[in-house]
């Protein structure tokens, strides 16, 4: 997201209208599959409205986040699983292969709500 006044201005004048158009259009027309631009639009708008943290998990207070989104491989998820569960009980984790789903579920013993796979990659939505 933009960090300077000029960046915010460019975002509001050039990028935000496209995001807004895609989001509004999506409410009126059903799509067989959502575009990458639509998903990026939702993420960008959410990060402006909600706020996004990027940094070390060690610097986050316990139970201080309502949702954590992590794109990490299975080995890294296993290493940071305790910290992920410490800061939030709602997680969206991705970045690992489909054949590693059971390994990731074992390292994050909270209940998996949904599993998504695409082109051998996997994503889990977890809530505890």
For the chain, domains (ranges, CATH) are 5-50 (no CATH), 57-127 (3.40.50.150)
Per-residue confidence (pLDDT) for residue 3, from 0 to 100: 60
Q: Which phi and psi (to 5°) does residue 55 adopt?
A: 160, -160
pLDDT of residue 45: 63
Per-residue pLDDT of the chain (128 residues; tens, 9 = 90+): 556 666 666 655 666 666 666 666 666 655 556 666 666 666 666 665 555 666 788 888 888 888 888 889 999 999 999 999 998 888 989 999 999 999 999 998 878 788 989 899 999 998 87
DSSP 15: I
For the chain, where are the E strands, in sequence order?
68-71, 90-97, 111-118, 121-127
C-alpha to C-alpha distances, 17 to 20, 22, 35, nearest whole angstrom: 5, 9, 17
Buried b (16+ CB within 10 A) or exposed e, 68-94: bbbebebeebbebbeebbbbbbebbbb
Task: Give the Cα separation of 30 and 90 in Å (integer).
Answer: 28
pLDDT of residue 120: 92
DSSP conformational letter for 34: -
């Amino acid at each position: 997201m933009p960090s300077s006044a000029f960046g915010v201005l460019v975002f509001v004048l050039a990028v935000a209208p496209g995001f807004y158009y895609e989001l509004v259009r999506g409410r009126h027309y059903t799509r067989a599959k959502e575009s990458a631009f639509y998903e990026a639009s939702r993420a960008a708008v959410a990060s402006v409205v909600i706020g996004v943290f990027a940094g070390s998990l060690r610097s986050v207070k316990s139970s201080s986040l309502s949702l954590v989104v992590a794109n990490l491989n299975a080995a890294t998820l296993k290493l940071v699983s305790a910290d992920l569960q410490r800061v939030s009980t709602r997680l969206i984790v991705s970045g690992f292969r489909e054949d590693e789903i059971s390994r990731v579920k074992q390292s994050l013993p909270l209940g998996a709500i949904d599993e998504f796979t695409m082109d051998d990659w996997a994503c889990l939505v977890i809530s505890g």
